[in-house]
Amino acid sequence: MASSHLAGDGPFSKQCQAWLERTLGCARALLTHSCTAALEMAAILCDIQPGDEVIVPSFTFVSTANAFVLRGACPVFVDIRPDTLNMDEQQVEKAITPKTKAVVPMHYAGGPCAMDVIMEIAERHGLWVVEDAAQALLSTYQGRCLGTIGHLGCLSFHETKNIISGEGGALLVNDTRLVERAEVIREKGTNRSRFFAGEVDHYTWVDIGSSFLPGELVGAFLFAQLEQAEKIIAARRRIFDLYHRSLRPLEEAGLVRLPWVENDSVANGHLFYLIARTTEERTRLIKHLDACGILAVIHYVPLHSSPAGRRYGRTAGHLAVTEDLSGRLLRLPLYYEMSDEDAGRVVASVQEFYSRPS
Ligand SMILES: *Cc1c(COP(=O)(O)O)cnc(C)c1O
């Protein structure tokens, strides 16, 4: 496809957006610079005002909370479930106050939060639901794609994710009432997209907004990735399944815990983690793997214990599960071109660690 269009929303970007709308099933998909940018757009669309509260997990990436803090909100951190490591839906209702405006579930490792419960609570209390689906492209929950269940969903195409464009993301607008305003906010607060659609004869400043759309080079790169999405995800799931199968005996022996896979969901093989019995054991396992030439890394420092999290947010209840599991979790290598042999080597090194007397 030849095109001299280099700014945003050229033919490649449009193909990406059409692909996302068709494949995931959402009213409108808008490419952004990043998932962070999509979350910032979501905060504007939810009309977050200074003093509002937003319920978020503490075990997540900073942008889940930061996007709302930028609009003056206080992130209220809730604990995670020990099985899925996702926001504990039982804690959400208890965290609601008259100031609460939105709930932001994050689908860790591409595995789904209990969206049916979260949506039901949000509807009862008149709250927005913004899914941080940065890791969850093409994962499903009860047959629906993650990111398409809340009022808004945010995807990432950062190079650390499954489908990439270097930096990149998308806002999925599922609530049709928000589509027009989303387009305005993304185009610097102008009604430029209505102008291009021939709906108005000039465009002007109509709302707050910023430049949230990526250039066409990003769209071109991303479309090539989306065309291969099934293949990329199948390869990652093959490695995920290999790890799961091979390490099951260690889990059955009570030595490690593996990612939990629920029956009514399909995860996208985004990452594979182990939970060691203690933080000290995790440190030794990471060292052992390092000595075998294998890079295993920890994940989030809980946001409620971070300097900015303490300054801008507060906790709802005691985040015991978050504090415990974040200190014991490590991620094993998992990438598209990883061979079964390489994954087998990682498994053998983990097995070796647990077969030695400590
Ligand atoms: C990667 C990630 C983000 C940020 O994505 P960017 O595209 O880099 O802004 C946000 N939330 C979660 C849960 C992530 O994993």
Report the separation in Å between the CA atom of 148 and the middle of ligand 1, taken as the mean of its atom positions. 17
* pLDDT for residue 196: 87
- Quote the Cα angle for 164-165-168, to 5°: 95
CATH topology of domain 229-355: Aspartate Aminotransferase, domain 1 (3.90.1150)
pLDDT tens, position by position, 45-75: 999 999 999 999 999 999 999 999 999 999 9
Residue 98 pLDDT level (bands cut at 50, 70, 90): very high
Going edge to edge, which strands form the sheet with 265-266? Answer: 144-145, 140-141, 265-266
Read off the pTM.
Answer: 0.97
Give the C-alpha separation, 165 to 220, whole Å: 9
Taking the CA of residue 37 as reference, the ligand 1 atom at the shortest distance is 9
Q: Is the CB of 61 under 6 A from ligand 1?
A: yes
Domain boundaries of the chain, sorted by first residue = 11-227, 229-355
11-227: CATH, from 3.40.50.150, 3.40.640.10, 3.40.605.10, 3.60.150.10 = 3.40.640.10
pLDDT tens, position by position, 238-297: 999 999 999 999 999 999 999 987 767 788 999 999 999 999 999 999 999 999 999 999
Q: Is the CB of 63 under 6 A from ligand 1?
A: yes
Is 70 exceeded by the pLDDT of residue 2? Answer: no
Taking the CA of residue 34 as reference, the ligand 1 atom at the shortest distance is 7
Give the C-alpha separation, 104 to 82, whole Å: 18
Asked if 165 contacts 155 with a C-beta cutoff of 8 angstroms, the reply is no
Count helices and strands in the chain by DSSP H and E runs: 13, 13
Q: From atom 14 of ligand 1, which residue's Cα is the shortest distance away? A: 134
Report the separation in Å between the CA atom of 275 and the middle of ligand 1, taken as the mean of its atom positions. 22
The amino acid at residue 36 is T
Q: From atom 1 of ligand 1, which residue's Cα is the shortest distance away? A: 134
Q: Is the CB of 170 under 6 A from ligand 1?
A: no
Please, which residues have CB within 8 angstroms of residue 27's CB and are 6 or more apart in sequence?
21, 173, 174, 175, 176, 179
Asked if 207 contacts 183 with a C-beta cutoff of 8 angstroms, the reply is no
Report the separation in Å between the CA atom of 60 and the middle of ligand 1, taken as the mean of its atom positions. 9
